[in-house]
Amino acid sequence: MSELPSLGEVTQLREACRTVAGPEWEDENGHVNVQHFYAFHIRGSEVEMGRIGVTEDYRTTRGCGVFSVEQHLRFFDEVRIGEEISAHLRWVERGDKVFHAVSIIVNHSTGRVANTLEMLEAHVDLGTRRARAIPDDLAARIDEELSVHSALAWQVPLNGSMGVRGRVQS
């Protein structure tokens, strides 16, 4: 496994969302339960999808959306109730119909990366329910993010089994 990025490195990425872990998130082990981490990753990812243009209006007017193809959740440190966390999305690569990204949750109370959700997502025609080429305007916005993120000096830990086939060079 590659070395985990620091809090300072991860916060070079735009913050998608932030919260304090509430008592309703606690499990029987006295820390945040996996379902709440997963939901927080999804919440942050949806914010980032909206920022690049995948919104309700996009789904309605273009008839397309994004479906999860594969996901991998990894835990590096626990989060306890009352600790402050944020989610940040790092773009990894893009193909004609799919993209690869990682959501990173950092714990501001401890200064450490808590966990990551690595994802492979497909751009989908909502009528046919099949993968469809990412339109040029959306691809350009993803490529802008990829350009900024690939210039960062730190690497996000990847599981090594996921990736884009037929990768598009940005």
Query: What pTM, to 2 d.p., does this model score?
Result: 0.93
Whole-number pLDDT of residue 2: 61
Which CATH architecture is the domain 7-150 placed in? Answer: Roll (3.10)
User: What are 92-143's pLDDT values in tens digits?
Assistant: 999 999 999 999 999 999 999 999 999 999 999 999 999 999 999 999 999 9
Residues 32 and 81: beta-carbon distance below 8 Å: yes
With tokens 């990682």, the residue in question is 102
Whole-number pLDDT of residue 160: 83
Residues 141 and 153: beta-carbon distance below 8 Å: no
Q: Give whole-number Cα distances, 32 to 38, 71, 107, 108, 115, in Å.
A: 11, 20, 12, 15, 12
Percent of the residues in the chain that have a pLDDT greater than 70, as a whole number: 96
Give dist(CA 51, CA 29) in Å, integer. Answer: 36
Residues 90 and 157: beta-carbon distance below 8 Å: no
User: What are 41-59's pLDDT values in tens digits?
Assistant: 999 999 999 999 999 999 9
Give dist(CA 75, CA 52) in Å, integer. Answer: 27
Residues 107 and 79: beta-carbon distance below 8 Å: yes
Whole-number pLDDT of residue 170: 45
Judged by DSSP in three states, 141 sits in: helix
